Copies of this chain bind each other. A is one copy, B any other.
């Protein structure tokens, strides 16, 4: 039987399909219990340390909520300026110290590869909550959990991914999961921000159906889900090019009305202008439900890694 006891969660591609299903089904089970007003105590007497070497309120609060909703407790470094790293301590040393306090550690760090380095230093399970341009596996997991909840399944869905596909670690983690779960994908971006070709090649190997376009409206007409990410001005050498383009990647009700009926709209948040607030009232606007789904997914991971599911 599949188990994740004692494992780290640093990236999604090291998870087997069986492990992936175990995480999603455990999350669903936990969500059912709490939705019915039940209380879970799986992590009672256990301690989570959240170490944020780069601030991220949303992710930190989501993990802390998950731990507290399981009856556990939390110690936290929310602000890099209060950490020992400012005194010149290595990440490995910081981790080994915190290992003396906590049963499981969540780390967010601006540097790619740091989560692996952190996990290598300690015996307790480590969860990567984002390592710079690297991975953000729990985001990708809650994204597919959301699609499954909103659409009943991921297999056979057509998912449009729109916005900055070049630089977004979120979409890079997500597309590999979508491939494994049997989704078709449409990549929608300006030419400057296209999905890196090596990823496209990876995905096409094995026969995943991938389309590439810069036409958001057309993509939304044939998609079950549109996953919107932000286009940042800083990514363009020529600012006027940004000004020309930004309007084409804003999801508003005019676009939604022309899209495939019932289309689900997702966004990893925070949103700035990419989705008009008028869309919030649309039934298929799933982005706040998506954020809330981070809690059961992280509950599942905390319990599974510590052997208390």
Residue numbers of A with Cβ under 8 A of B are: 39, 44-45, 47, 49, 52, 55-58, 61-62, 64-65, 68-69, 73, 75, 77-79, 81-84, 86-90, 92-94, 96-102, 269-272, 277, 288-289, 291-292, 294-295
Task: Report the Cα distance A295→B98, complex, angstroms.
Answer: 11
Closest to A65 in B: B101
> What is the oligomeric copy number?
3
Least Cβ–Cβ distance between A275 and chain B, in angstroms: 10
CA distance A49 to B57 in the complex (A): 12
CB-defined contacts of A90 to chain B, threshold 8 Å: 277
CB pair A270 B87 closer than 8 Å: yes
A292-B100 contact, Cβ under 8 Å, with A58-B84, A82-B55, A88-B272: yes
Tell whether, in the assembled complex, residue A58 and residue B292 are in contact, meaning their CB atoms are under 8 Å apart. Answer: no
Q: Min CB distance, A28 to chain B, in Å?
A: 16
Q: Which of A69, A73, A101, A288 has the most chain B CB within a 10 Å cutoff?
A: A101
Q: How far is A49 from B55 in the complex, measured between Cα atoms in Å?
A: 17
Q: How far is the CA of A289 from the CA of B93 in the complex (A)?
A: 12
User: Is B101 in contact with A61, judged by CB distance below 8 angstroms?
Assistant: yes
Determine if B271 and A97 form an interchain contact, defined as CB atoms under 8 angstroms apart: no
